[in-house]
């Protein structure tokens, strides 16, 4: 009976250890309407304790879209710059323009981030984000 008790306690301890070692993962999907040449925040990335690798995929049939990753504290400033066709140095990552685009970047630790979309035509953008660290 004593051997079985040790085995059960060992299995319980292993389960607790494995539960605490899971990778953090972020997944979200959203659909937003964009007006022509007006940048808009599409989705937020909450504060993380470590740098998080994020991949955002967006589709916008009929209208090319560009995605930007920015710290939320600078989002309004960056969106204003994008509306005026000025490249902002506060952009953490940028995708190419197209009807189907992928943005890959790193959301820094201890900072909330925002994914911003910009299109030169009115369009519906469907975006999916996957992040992990």
> Domain-by-domain residue ranges, the chain?
24-132
For the segment 53-72, the average pLDDT, to the nearest whole number, is: 94
- Number of helices followed by number of strands (H, E) in the chain: 2, 8
Q: What is the pTM of this model?
A: 0.81
Maximum pairwise Cα distance, the chain: 76
Average pLDDT, the chain: 88
Please say whether the structural domain 24-132 has been given the CATH code 1.10.40.30. no
Burial of 9 (0-12, 13-18, 19+ CB in 10 A): exposed
- Choice between 95 and 5, residue whose per-residue pLDDT is larger: 95
């Amino acid at each position: 009976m004593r051997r079985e008790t040790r085995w059960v306690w060992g299995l319980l301890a292993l389960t607790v250890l494995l539960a605490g070692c899971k990778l953090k993962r972020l997944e979200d999907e959203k659909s937003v309407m964009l007006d022509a040449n007006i940048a808009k925040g599409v989705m937020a990335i909450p504060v993380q304790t470590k740098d998080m690798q994020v991949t955002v995929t967006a589709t916008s049939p009929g209208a090319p879209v560009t995605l930007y990753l920015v710290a939320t504290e600078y989002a309004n400033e960056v969106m204003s710059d994008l509306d005026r066709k000025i490249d902002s140095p506060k952009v953490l990552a940028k995708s190419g323009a197209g009807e189907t685009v992928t943005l890959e970047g790193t959301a820094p630790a201890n900072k909330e981030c925002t994914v911003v979309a910009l299109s030169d035509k009115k369009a519906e953008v469907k975006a999916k984000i996957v992040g992990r660290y």
